[in-house]
């Protein structure tokens, strides 16, 4: 098969045959990230290659300093690799100019952070709207979409509340709705349940699970085994390299995943 965007059976993923036709949404190839610090080099990533497939749900684990956030930041185009290649949406990120890069980031990626990163002066619905304000031209029906997303994450009754008037779990729900507002294909989450109690963490995971079933690709950093167990695959990093990749459950055949709205 010649189509480069299709996954070939090249032994990199070890996936069962039903999933071989899944599109690769993000591919990192022999990526390194070297920080120069006080006259010596810190190899935060040291030759990482991995494919993320359409509809994938990946947990990235590893001890503190193993390179998890560095990898997620590269995937989110918040940073560039020192060497190696990053292909997003079929395009080499290195060859994109800044404008293309920010357009692809805005359209293709959604971000969720451990500390929610909400704007304290804005209400629930206004926070969800924030990424829309960067869209040129503005998307029609934006406010209506934000109201639907607030309802989707269970905050339809809290639209006018400010972040300080919400629980941690509710604030993370706002952040998830905000991440979804541009209908991204890929959701990147750095310890999304890191500040939440166990019951609330699993509610947030239920939401991510539902988004994954609706076709989104999710890449999530976590320290917690029970949270990682909810992902489809677990990648463990060690000293900037992939230590192990394990599969909790197979990827559903592509035909079973509904198209994005
Ligand atoms: N901006 C930077 N400048 C210099 N070194 C950095 C920088 N960012 C990260 N590092 C180093 O790169 C390595 C990987 O850092 P990274 O933040 O990716 O780790 P992590 O796995 O996310 O850890 P944690 O679980 O503590 O969040 C660490 O040794 C860190 O000190
Ligand atoms: Mg980190």
Predicted confidence (pLDDT) per residue in 22-56, tens digit: 789 999 999 999 999 889 999 999 999 999 999 99
Structural domain total, the chain = 1
80 CB neighbour count, 10 Å cutoff: 13
- For 168-223, write each residue's pLDDT tens digit: 999 999 999 999 998 899 999 999 999 999 999 999 999 999 999 888 999 999 99
Residue whose CA lies nearest to ligand 1 atom number 26: 64
Does 172 map to a domain?
Answer: yes
Name the closest-CA residue to atom 6, ligand 1: 35
Whether 17 is in a domain gets the answer: no
| Alpha carbon of 184 to ligand 1 centroid (Å) | 26
Question: Which CATH number goes with the domain that contains 224?
Answer: 3.40.50.300
Residue 223 lies in a domain: yes
pLDDT score at 254? 67
What atom of ligand 1 comes closest to residue 191's alpha carbon?
Answer: 27
CB 21, CB 6: distance < 8 Å: yes
Say if ligand 1 is within 6 A of residue 36 CB: no
- Ligand 1 centroid distance, CA of 66 (Å): 7
Using the mean position of ligand 2's atoms as its centre, give its distance from the Cα of residue 2 in Å: 37
CB of 41 shorter than 6 A to ligand 1 = no
103 falls within a domain: yes
Task: Quote the domain boundaries for residue 188.
Answer: 54-78+94-250
User: Residue 12 domain-assigned?
Assistant: no
27, part of any domain: no
Mean pLDDT on 129-158:
86
In a domain, residue 35? The reply is no
Is the pLDDT at 259 greater than 70? The verdict is no
| Residue 219 falls inside a structural domain | yes
Q: Which ligand is nearest to the CA of 68?
A: 1
From the CB of 145, is ligand 1 less than 6 Å away?
Answer: no
Average pLDDT, the chain: 87
């Amino acid at each position: 098969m010649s189509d480069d965007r299709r996954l070939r059976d090249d032994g990199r993923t070890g996936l069962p045959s039903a999933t071989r036709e899944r599109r690769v949404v993000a591919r990192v190839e022999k990526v390194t990230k070297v920080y120069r610090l006080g006259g010596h080099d810190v190899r935060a990533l040291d030759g990482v290659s991995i494919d993320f497939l359409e509809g994938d749900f990946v947990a990235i684990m590893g001890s503190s300093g193993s390179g998890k956030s560095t990898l997620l930041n590269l995937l989110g185009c918040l940073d560039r690799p020192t060497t190696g290649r990053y292909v997003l949406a079929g395009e080499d990120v290195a060859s994109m100019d800044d404008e293309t890069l920010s357009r692809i980031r805005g359209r293709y990626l959604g971000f969720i952070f451990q500390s929610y990163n909400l704007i304290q002066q804005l209400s629930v619905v206004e926070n969800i709207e924030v990424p829309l304000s960067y869209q040129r031209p503005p998307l029609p029906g934006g406010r209506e979409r934000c109201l639907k997303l607030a309802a989707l994450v269970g905050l339809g009754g809290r639209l006018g509340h400010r972040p300080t008037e919400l629980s941690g779990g509710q604030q993370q729900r706002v952040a998830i709705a905000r991440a979804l507002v541009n209908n991204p294909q890929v959701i990147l989450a750095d310890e999304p349940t890191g500040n939440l109690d166990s019951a609330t963490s699993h509610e947030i995971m239920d939401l991510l699970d539902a988004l994954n079933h609706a076709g989104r690709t999710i890449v999530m950093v976590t320290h917690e085994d029970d949270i990682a167990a909810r992902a489809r695959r677990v990648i463990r990093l060690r000293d900037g390299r992939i230590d192990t990749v394990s599969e909790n459950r197979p990827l559903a055949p592509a035909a079973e995943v509904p198209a994005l709205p």
